Structure 1
Amino acid sequence: MRVAVIGVGMTKFGKHPDKSLVDLFADAFFEALEDANIELKNVEAIYFGNFVGEMTDGSANLSGFVADEVGLKNIPAIRYEGACASSSVAFREAVRAVKAGYYNCVAVGGAEKLLSAGTAIGTRALATAVDGVYEMTAGLTFPGVFALAARYYAKKYEIPLQKLREMMAYVSVKNHKYGAVNPKAQFYGKYGDLKVEDVLNSRMICSPLTLLDCCPMTDGGSAVIVANEKFAKEVGGDPVYVLGTGQASGGSLFRQGEDIIKAIPRKIAAEMAFREAKITPKDVDFVEVHDCFTIAEIIALEAMGFFEYGTACYATAEGVTSIDGDLPVNPDGGLIGKGHPVGATGTSQIYTAVKQLRNEFKWNQVKDARIAMTDTLGGDFGTLVNIILGVD
């Protein structure tokens, strides 16, 4: 039985101090419901992703609240937590449940409020995704994790650090350019004409990463409607099918060691998704990857099999990952340009993939796209989820 995405919705990413996590999900949910052209009663369960609601909103048991808010009182609803991959984990589990025949139609999504929470709470909340015994106690935060990764990448592949910084900067330039034309993006209308020098000269956050090498903290919500093929055909529209999914996990950085720049859990998850979809990386028309930092996009593309290890940095600088390149990456701006409301990020990638495959992403459409892949990273390579979508 094939499973399809029949509707997608997403709030504008940015700052929403007057909305709760439940409100943000509800806004995205009703947009997805309308997009799917179905009735509320058709939704049989809710799969909700959220990372740190207990720290930002004082709420942990959110699934029942979101179900009640959208008018689906008493249906099965569950919250999934996989750090930045929370709603991707929720999506994968929803797909598996529909495929197994438990439901005909479900809603999946997520919400997060890190920007409104403020820098101190947001930073502390994000740091809970690293090892609390060996990493957080040493003062390690995510800029530190990926600064370490960038430095080791330069050493491993014998690239002068300044040269790598310049190539990393092309990720920021590209993703900000695309985020600037995306009305849903946090940086819509901003930073669209960055230069490499702007990235290199922005404020140093954790050497060698500058401010413009980093994604922002963000508030936002996203949602998608998932259904079996029979139901999808009954309601009409343009279903986008889930061709394959993969998920893997990783442990503390001291156990991952040198493998941090090879992102082995991501490699395993991507290969799992490719096997299920019965395709190879060469068949994918565009990718939404987890660019929490510029070096993260480079590492992701290699681990997923699109480039050999140590070469994605060169491909990025040469324009291979641009909208008119051989492999468009993050045409919506990615986390860097669009924003990163952690619990909502995974299904926001699905939102973009579906819109692109339906030829509806008018502000930055990938030409003739038939197959898309998403990639979400939770923690320091602790939870990895890859999803492949396609149209007939």
Structure 2
Amino acid sequence: MIKMGKHRESSYSGLAAPAALGALRDAGITKDEVGAVFCGHAFGGMLTGQRIVKELGIGDVPVTNVDNACSGGATAVHLAVRAIEDGHCDIALVIGVDKLTQFGGGTLPLVQEDPEVQNGIVMPAVYAMRARRFLHERDATVEDLAAVSVKARRHGAANPYAQFQSEVTVEQVLDSRPIADPLTLMQCCPTGDGAAAVVLMSERERKRRGAQGMRAAASVLHSGQFEAGFRDMLRPEISYHSARDAYEAAGFGPEDLDVVELHDAFTIAELVYYEALGLCEPGESVGLLRDGRTAYGGDVVVNPSGGLLSKGHPVGASGVAQVVEALWHLTDRAGARQVENAQRALTHVTGGGIAGLDHGACTIHLFERTA
């Protein structure tokens, strides 16, 4: 991946090409060996993938562009897994890219035909309501919400690809500018630009090449179920169901995970997703955080990259960047943030912003170290 940040002068091709070339080089793949390309993005416009691979010199292969909001990049990975499993190709290149500085700041634009958007809903407000409900129902404080950012920044400080690489205190987080009560600026992921890329190949091809990598043990994509009226904001069914199906497909569970990269677009999301992903029982997420069980030295390291809160969230790139992070840990290449003896990892990203759905899409991948 490239360093996440504000690359105002870069085009989508300019952002994505270095990441894609790096992935091909890392895998020992030439451009002529790529059998299919999948490109996840949200705001790149028409034929984003084709514009990128043109610069790479890749042609005559199917290029699929994927828009699934924040889950676009992860959905592209899912489609590549399926293409290889179904025998359509042996080697696929997946690219995730987005450039959010094109909007000049502020919240991400949502679809105006949506009735909640017409009434002024924005994503920080959605998560603020979720946080309010969490503080009401759980034994939690605003300091607990801030502690998620503290952990994220501590992890991100060791990540050269993160947009923010400095530690913060609970007091600094709570004193930062109010965004949507109770969330402050440091409890919201930064907007920015970025790109990430991965090469997927069949097991037969990997063994033939003797390539180092990790195995995709499960790849699950769900869309949301519409419900009119009340919905439980602390029980995102789409993530619960996706996690259940992923664990069943992989043959191992949350207790076996060493690394988790989850969708922490706002601090409250991490606490809610601890429960949805089965890292703890409902109602126990605050204790998990307070006891340090999701940091280095704990049960499972959640967001060793610093997560979206530190790394940034260039929407279409985020799901692919999570997979890159998992790969680096499962191949002992994560540098100063390496999770010791990491054997299994989970990546989780959602895409939302539709009335009546807790999210529009959720993609979960489970990976394990290969011999």
TM-score normalized by structure 1? 0.90
Please name the residue that 1:89 is paired with: 75
Q: Provide, for residues 97-137 of structure 1, a one-character-per-residue CA deviation record: whole Å limited to 9, x for no partner.
A: 101111000101211011343115xx242x33xx8422111
The Cα of 1:256 is off from its aligned counterpart by 7.3
Structure 1 unaligned residues grouped into runs of 5+: 1-9, 54-58
Please name the residue that 1:379 is paired with: 352
- In structure 2, what residue type is equivalent to 1:223? A
- Which of 196, 211, 214 is the equivalent residue of 2:185? 211
Q: Provide, for residues 199-223 of structure 1, a one-character-per-residue CA deviation record: whole Å limited to 9, x for no partner.
A: 1111110000000110000100000
Q: Provide, for residues 238-287 of structure 1, a one-character-per-residue CA deviation record: whole Å limited to 9, x for no partner.
A: 121000121212256x6373322111000111111111101111111120
Q: For residues 263 and 32 of structure 2, what CA distance do their matches in structure 1 show?
A: 34
Q: For residues 331 and 248 of structure 1, what CA distance do their matches in structure 2 show?
A: 25
Decide whether the 8 Å contact of 1:153 with 1:310 is kept in 2: no
1:134 aligns with 2:115: yes
- Which of 92, 107, 110 is the equivalent residue of 2:93? 107
Please name the residue that 1:5 is paired with: none
The Cα of 1:237 is off from its aligned counterpart by 2.8
Percentage of matched positions with identical amino acids: 35
1:240 aligns with 2:214: yes
Please name the residue that 1:259 is paired with: 232
- Which of 105, 124, 127 is the equivalent residue of 1:146? 127
Please name the residue that 2:54 is paired with: 68
Q: For residues 96 and 372 of structure 1, what CA distance do their matches in structure 2 show?
A: 19
Please name the residue that 1:351 is paired with: 324
1:164 aligns with 2:150: no
Aligned pairs (5 A) from 1:189-208: 190=166, 192=167, 194-208=168-182
Q: Provide, for residues 20-73 of structure 1, a one-character-per-residue CA deviation record: whole Å limited to 9, x for no partner.
A: 1122111100000110012111111110000122xxxxx322122122121112
Once the two structures are overlaid, the 10-residue window that deviates more, 378-387 or 219-228, is 378-387
Q: Provide, for residues 141-171 of structure 1, a one-character-per-residue CA deviation record: whole Å limited to 9, x for no partner.
A: 01100000011122233x3xxx421111111
Q: For residues 322 and 222 of structure 1, what CA distance do their matches in structure 2 show?
A: 24
SS in 2 for 1:244: strand
Decide whether the 8 Å contact of 1:286 with 1:369 is kept in 2: yes
Aligned pairs (5 A) from 1:257-296: 257-296=230-269
The Cα of 1:226 is off from its aligned counterpart by 0.3
Please name the residue that 2:275 is paired with: 302
RMSD (Å) for aligned C-alpha atoms: 1.5
- Which of 134, 148, 158 is the equivalent residue of 1:181? 158
Q: For residues 221 and 276 of structure 2, what CA distance do their matches in structure 1 show?
A: 13
SS in 1 for 2:324: helix
Q: For residues 229 and 270 of structure 2, what CA distance do their matches in structure 1 show?
A: 19
Please name the residue that 1:155 is paired with: 136
- Which of 318, 331, 347 is the equivalent residue of 2:304? 331
- Corresponding pairs, count: 365
Structure 2 unaligned residues grouped into runs of 5+: 354-358
- In structure 2, what residue type is equivalent to 1:25? A
- In structure 2, what residue type is equivalent to 1:175? A
Q: 1:124 to 1:292 in 2, by over 3 A?
A: closer
Q: 1:204 to 1:226 in 2, by over 3 A?
A: same
- In structure 2, what residue type is equivalent to 1:364? R
Q: 1:75 to 1:340 in 2, by over 3 A?
A: same
Please name the residue that 1:314 is paired with: 287
The Cα of 1:316 is off from its aligned counterpart by 0.8
The runs of at least 4 aligned residues of structure 1 exceeding 6 Å deviation read none
Decide whether the 8 Å contact of 1:247 with 1:383 is kept in 2: yes
Aligned pairs (5 A) from 1:42-81: 42-53=33-44, 59-81=45-67
- Which of 322, 327, 334 is the equivalent residue of 1:361? 334
TM-score normalized by structure 2? 0.95
SS in 2 for 1:307: coil
Q: 1:60 to 1:384 in 2, by over 3 A?
A: same
SS in 2 for 1:335: helix
SS in 2 for 1:109: strand
Decide whether the 8 Å contact of 1:68 with 1:74 is kept in 2: no
The Cα of 1:198 is off from its aligned counterpart by 1.2
